[in-house]
Amino acid sequence: MRLGISLTSAYSSATSARDGARWMIERAAAARGADLDSLFIGDHHSTGTGAYYQNTPMMGRLLAEWGDKPAGVLFLLPLWNPVLVAEQVGTLASIHQGRFIMQCAIGRDDAASPAMGVNAKYRPSMFEESLDIVRRLLKGETVSSDGRFKISNAIVSPVTPEPLEVWIGGSVSPSIDRAARLAEGWIADGTRAGNAEIAAQTAEYLERAQMHGRAPAAVAVRRNVFVGSTDEEAAEVLAPILDRFTGDRSSMLYGSAETVAEQLKPLAEMGITDVIVRSLIPEQHGLTMKSIARLAEVRERIADL
């Protein structure tokens, strides 16, 4: 099992814009120091109050801290022009000295769609059309389209140095099937879903991948995490969160490094190959940095799973 990290890129108005950006840079360096297996950041738009750091410029900066292990960016494809996505991915993959992974998803039916001028009911067809265009552009093709996206004779350079690797996120049956049919990997959103729910989704994904004749490069899940020096410290730090949390506690990883490693074992047993962690306390930078450093021990403990 591999252990990666997705850096929080949205912060409340209580955090200054420069502090939030600095925290992301320092956390990327800490993740490299912990020898984590992958680095990702997400995608949101029209977020309102607080700061959200846009993924492509931020990843360009983070790659200077990261090294040559896999890295990638999430794109909510219906909200982007596919030519721009291909240009961004080609540039980032050329900056990076290792494997670059394009994560993508449809996104929630929220305020972002109308803010970006997208009719939410067309998101599934827009997603598939966009992914096809991006892939063709990054193979060096000249692409025209008269579908949801109106494109005439588009061509991009640079293209990705290696063939594009795509992971699709989704937790409902249509999106799970879409990942099995179209992508090299799948990402389950386990930030609230417990182990039983993730096990069912994983079994469905593996069945659909086999049906579509695909051998997944990655079966991934996101998990919120805090690694304390002891179980007691972790429980004390997280007490305000745990007191108001109404979801499945197995959706969170917390405790000492030994305890967190034990919490990861059920995921390995159900077929998960990659756990992508996010901070449970992203606006407590000092504690988050210590948690990332302790992930080095967690990674060592799960290396043989």
Q: Quick one: DSSP state of residue 138?
A: T
In tens digits, what is the pLDDT along the chain, a chain of 305 residues? Answer: 999 999 999 999 889 999 999 999 999 999 999 999 999 999 988 877 788 999 999 999 999 999 999 999 999 999 999 999 999 999 999 999 999 999 999 987 677 787 778 888 899 999 999 999 999 999 999 999 999 999 999 999 999 999 999 999 999 999 999 999 999 999 999 888 999 999 999 999 999 999 999 999 999 999 999 999 999 999 999 999 999 988 899 999 999 999 999 999 999 999 999 999 999 999 999 999 999 999 999 999 999 88
The helix (H) or strand (E) run that includes residue 165 is: strand 165-169
Copy the structure tokens of residue 222: 């996101």
Residues with Cβ within 8 Å of residue 82, at least 6 apart in sequence: 129, 130, 131, 133, 134, 137, 149, 151
Q: Identify whether the C-beta of residue 10 lies closer than 8 Å to the C-beta of residue 52.
A: yes
The helix (H) or strand (E) run that includes residue 49 is: none
Residues with Cβ within 8 Å of residue 245, at least 6 apart in sequence: 252
| Cα 166 from Cα 21, distance rounded (Å) | 26
- CA neighbor of 73 nearest in space, from 2, 6, 170: 6
Whole-number pLDDT of residue 46: 83
2-302: CATH number: 3.20.20.30
Query: Is the bond preceding 158 in cis, omega lying within 30 degrees of 0?
Result: yes
Whole-number pLDDT of residue 115: 78
Whole-number pLDDT of residue 109: 67
Q: Identify whether the C-beta of residue 201 lies closer than 8 Å to the C-beta of residue 171.
A: yes
Read off the pTM: 0.95
| Cα 283 from Cα 8, distance rounded (Å) | 9
**Exposed/middle/buried for 102, CB within 10 Å: 0-12, 13-18, 19+?**
buried
- Torsion angles phi and psi, residue 280, rounded to 5: -75, -20
Residues with Cβ within 8 Å of residue 157, at least 6 apart in sequence: 90
Whole-number pLDDT of residue 247: 83
The helix (H) or strand (E) run that includes residue 105 is: strand 100-105
- CA neighbor of 128 nearest in space, from 168, 188, 86: 168
The helix (H) or strand (E) run that includes residue 257 is: helix 257-269
Residues with Cβ within 8 Å of residue 123, at least 6 apart in sequence: 78, 106, 107, 109, 113
The helix (H) or strand (E) run that includes residue 72 is: strand 71-76
